[in-house]
Chain A
């Protein structure tokens, strides 16, 4: 079945640690890829997106993600996390020529000060 998988349910880091959150998808064909962030009690906001071109995408707040087509992956990274990065992170996939977006289950990130 087509799906979006986020490997880590809950990640706990100390400030200044490096972050990598995994995302794999099982859709065939051409896809658009997104990472969203949801701060506690708030709605989802777009962090970054990949449509085509350079597979290393830079987003807001120092986040970046790398699309590896052969691995069907789109992992999110940040070299040095801050306490304010505490939030839930969702990977999402939209198949080109399809009209909806499917989300992973989310990864909760807790950054300890």
Chain B
């Protein structure tokens, strides 16, 4: 398996634009997580899915953020409209139920909003 695949690796966008981050989890994993990493706040859990269903989105900062998982092999995190304070590295991770091997993280998307 190629691991958790995220795209794009880097995204630079202007304030106000829509940004879509993509994630392909490891095949067979039941859980998918979106995290945001910044110097100030560290790793923050934004939302997670179990079997494609959103379970907890309490970490999503505001209504500008939305996430979907239309099928077991694809998830998106969308920011509309984007703001400079959204600049961060966004990680996707997936896991089997029971977390016997912890999470497997993707390489992340570095988002810069100017």
* Same complex: yes
- Contact status of A36 and B102, CB under 8 A, knowing A43-B108, A99-B48: yes
* 8 Å CB contact of B55 from A49, A94, A99: A99
Alpha-carbon distance between A90 and B42 when the two chains are bound, in angstroms: 10
A52 to nearest B CB, angstroms?
A: 11
Q: Which of A16-24, A65-73, A102-110 contacts B (4 or more CB under 8 A)?
A: A102-110
- Contact status of A44 and B105, CB under 8 A, knowing A32-B99, A101-B99: yes
Contacts of A106 in B (CB 8 A): 42-43
Q: Are B31 and A43 in contact (CB under 8 A)?
A: no
Interface residues on chain A, number (Cβ under 8 Å): 21
Q: Are B31 and A49 in contact (CB under 8 A)?
A: no
Residue of A nearest to B104 (CB): A46
Residue of A nearest to B41 (CB): A105
Q: Are B99 and A42 in contact (CB under 8 A)?
A: no
The dominant DSSP class at the B interface is strand
Contacts of B103 in A (CB 8 A): 44, 46, 101
B residues sitting closer than 8 Å to A (CB atoms) are 31, 33, 35, 42-43, 45, 48, 50, 55-56, 91, 93, 99-108
Q: Are A103 and B42 in contact (CB under 8 A)?
A: yes
- Contact status of A43 and B91, CB under 8 A, knowing A99-B48, A100-B56: yes
Residue of A nearest to B100 (CB): A51
Q: Are B50 and A90 in contact (CB under 8 A)?
A: no
Alpha-carbon distance between A105 and B56 when the two chains are bound, in angstroms: 21
Q: List 30 A-B contacts (CB under 8 A).
A: A32-B99, A36-B105, A43-B105, A43-B106, A43-B107, A44-B93, A44-B103, A44-B105, A45-B105, A46-B102, A46-B103, A46-B104, A49-B101, A51-B100, A92-B102, A94-B99, A99-B50, A99-B55, A99-B56, A100-B45, A100-B48, A100-B56, A101-B33, A101-B45, A101-B99, A101-B102, A101-B103, A102-B45, A103-B42, A105-B42
Contacts of B102 in A (CB 8 A): 34, 36, 46, 49, 92, 101
Contacts of B100 in A (CB 8 A): 51
Residue with the highest number of chain A CB atoms closer than 10 Å, among B33, B56, B93, B102: B102
